[in-house]
Amino acid sequence: MSDGGLLQKAMDSQTNADDLVAAVISEPPSSKGIGGSPMMIGMGLGAVATILMWILSNPSIQSEYALVLIVPILLAGASFWFIWNATNKKFAGPIAVVLILLLSSPFLAMSVTSSSITITDGELSSDAQTIELTLRESGGLFGSSSGDADISVTYDGDEIWSTSMPFSINREDGFGKYGLLTLNIVDFYDGNADDNNQYKVTIDTGSSSDTFILNPTHLERTVTDVKSGTIPIMGEGNDCDNNKDNCVIGVGLKSWIGLQTLAGNPPAPLAHADFELDAILSKDGSTAIEFPHVNVVNGEASWDSQSGKYGSGSAIVGDFGSELVLSGSIEDIDSNIYYIPIGDWGESDYGCYEFTVTVTQSPPWGDRTAHTATTFYEYSEEGGSDDDAATEEGWTQVNSC
């Protein structure tokens, strides 16, 4: 009985082992293995996310659709979830690092092969006709900015001019690589620059762009205020005739041209303005002095001196003020001015004189509107009530004639 019992137990054990082997052989492998579909889906999504990141990181796309990068980021997040679950949630750290490196690869590549530009300076040419921009390059260990640059200029917030021109970073100094671009001021000038009306230039090279505010003093060219004035040159004793104690022996002519300031003050200077000026001293419609036509370019005034009758024929205006002296032939030490003697006047009788200065500008600096300033002076003789009494002359500014 005992033998039968032992034999029966052995047979039962053999039957259970056979059933276990059959069960193991017949059970399919887990779908979560390394080669399973979640892994393949995750890897596929990761590849798509990387490809999209390379495409959408292009600067031209980013400048218009910056938020589109959220698409590859979301796909990468889904890729991480599938791969993480396929590996039984192991290796989370390495998986995340690999995905981050794949997504950032286009930006890492651009940091080596691409570069960015910065506009560092805008220098006015000696003739004040152009502004030369200096563009510095950073990055781009194996690349350099070159090709066409798209340039636009805004004034008071509105775009007033744009163009495209060849550009390259083809120079180098102690500060690094740089290139130059030259702007003709006449192409974009639209009015005086100031704190509220700035000229901003934007340069886009395709891979990079930058904006720069141009120096306002370089772009103050339009005259908004003109003033006129004369200085009487007085003589005594032998300088005068007809028993006069003193007399007017000539006048010095002055003008001020520039930007309007507070009432009563001379205009602010325009160092680089171009304009034309005419000045006439007259009495009752008769011309006493008609100063030669004055042409001013970049603050340098010139006129026909008529062999010294009207000074040297040149002057500088705008560097240290807005005053322009309209010189004569004789120097007066006391007033530090070259004056026009009364003997050269076409009209020299006593009475009321008008001194008028007219300034005009051609486009783009102005619209040929005349800016006119007139001052009035009474030329008179006083005293001499007795036949032998001495008289004296006066040149007095008055409100009107």
* Mean pLDDT per 10-residue section of the chain, whose length is 401 residues: 46 46 40 59 80 70 66 81 75 74 67 68 95 80 65 94 88 79 96 92 85 94 96 90 86 96 89 97 96 96 96 92 96 93 94 98 94 96 71 93 91
Three-class SS of residue 376?
A: strand
Cα separation values, 13 from 6, 23, 203, 377, Å = 11, 15, 87, 139
Q: Give the C-alpha separation, 203 to 179, whole Å.
A: 12
Q: What angle is formed at CA 54 by the lines to CA 53 and CA 59, rounded to 5 degrees?
A: 95
For the record, the structure tokens of 340 come out as: 């026009």
Return all residues near 63 (Cβ < 8 A) that are at least 6 apart. Answer: 209
Domain boundaries, the chain: 30-113, 115-219, 225-398
- Per-residue model confidence (pLDDT) at position 341: 96
pLDDT value, residue 107: 64
Please state, in angstroms and as integers, the Cα–Cα distance from residue 280 to each residue in 307, 313, 356, following that order. Answer: 20, 17, 5
Q: What is the pTM of this model?
A: 0.70
pLDDT recorded at residue 51: 85
The pLDDT, as a whole number, for residue 372 is: 97
| Cβ proximity of 256 and 341 under 8 Å | no
State the CATH architecture for 115-219.
Answer: Sandwich (2.60)
* Whole-number Å distance between alpha carbons of 319 and 301: 12
Q: Give the pLDDT score at 244.
A: 83
pLDDT at residue number 23: 40
- Tell me what pLDDT residue 22 has: 41
Whether the Cβ atoms of residue 307 and residue 314 lie closer than 8 Å to each other? no
Residue 148 — left, alpha, or beta (φ > 0 → left; ψ -120 to 50 → alpha)? Answer: beta
